[in-house]
Amino acid sequence: MKKIYVSGLMLLFTGIALLGFGCAPMAGTSKLMYQSAPRKPHWMQVIPQSRTYEYFLGVSDNRTSLDEAKKAAILDAFNDAVSKKGIEVSVNYQGLTTEDRSSIKDRIDISGAMKLGLEQVSWYYEEWEQYYRNHARKTYRVFVLMRSRKIHPSNFLMGIAINIGNRLDAFWHSMLIPGWGQYRYGKKGKGNYFLFLTAFSGAGWATSNVLYEKIRDDQYGIQEDLENAIGIKALDLQKKYAINEKHLKDLKGYKKGFMYTTLGIYGLNLLDAILFGPPSTDKFTMIPISDRFYLALSGNKNRSELGIYLKLSK
């Protein structure tokens, strides 16, 4: 009887254990917890075709945060566009270490990728729970559809028109403030250089003008005093008048020098703005980038400038 009782207890505990383990998820499995749409979008299976736009699919999986997963998916679509469209990306680094430069592709800020001619059309995500031996982890899978306008090398006239527009934009802005045109197109150092030189030379021109007018007014006063002066006072006034005349002659030379220097620097600023201000382009350049964007470094609160220039090679 005792034997039957023990066997029954063993069977009972075994059944409870099997029931418990049967309900618990097995290690190494995953379960879909949430999806952003009742059905998966059709564009996940078939990439849309259009005469106006070219579409690119970006995918990221096994990410621990939705934001991180979406950024990775957008970057994946961006890389797909770069490889398919034959875009050459040249980068001007400022303030980045060698390590940062070596891993630059993995840390491009998504807002920058948006400015490279891509725009988001739609996106879809799934929330999964992955089970391990002692714990479960929530992960995200994201699909994003992006597009860029189709531009063909045969339409190079449009590229030329955009090129001229960019150069005129740089020219007019540099007319208002020296160096502004270069600054707008990512050449901050050159823009500051022209601004400083023009301001320095212009300040010298203005200062020499003010001093010239002041001394010339003094000369008129000395001439009036000389009419009534006699003796030593007259000699002192004549001496002062002669010194002032020398100063006026020197200041006249400074005025001319600063004037021609200022106009020369200002002219070079405008010439540089229209010739070299925008990113260099040619007849195959169909995707002009008219401004700079920023690279957000992982684990670094500082933001470094990153100039991007695109060239469509096919």
Nearest alpha carbon to residue 269 among 161, 165, 172: 172
Compute the average pLDDT of residues 263-287: 67
Domains of the chain, by residue range, sit at: 24-151+303-312, 156-284
Contacts of 225 (CB under 8 A, 6+ apart): 237
pLDDT of 288 > 50? The answer is no
Cα separation, 89 vs 40, whole angstroms: 34
State pLDDT tens for residues 123-138: 999 998 887 777 788 8
58, 146 Cβ separation under 8 angstroms = yes
- How far is CA 83 from each of CA 73, 76, 306, rounded to the nearest angstrom? 15, 11, 21
Cα separation, 305 vs 292, whole angstroms: 7
State pLDDT tens for residues 6-54: 455 565 655 555 455 445 566 667 788 888 888 889 998 898 988 778 8
- Counting residues of the chain whose pLDDT is more than 70, the rounded percentage is 62
Reading the block at residue 242, the tokens are 């002669």
pLDDT of 63 > 60? The answer is yes
Compute the average pLDDT of residues 156-169: 67
Which one is predicted more confidently, 184 or 5?
184
Cα separation, 183 vs 269, whole angstroms: 12
Strand 119-131 and strand 30-35: the pairing is: antiparallel
Which one is predicted more confidently, 284 or 31?
31
State pLDDT tens for residues 183-221: 777 777 888 888 888 888 888 888 888 888 888 888 787
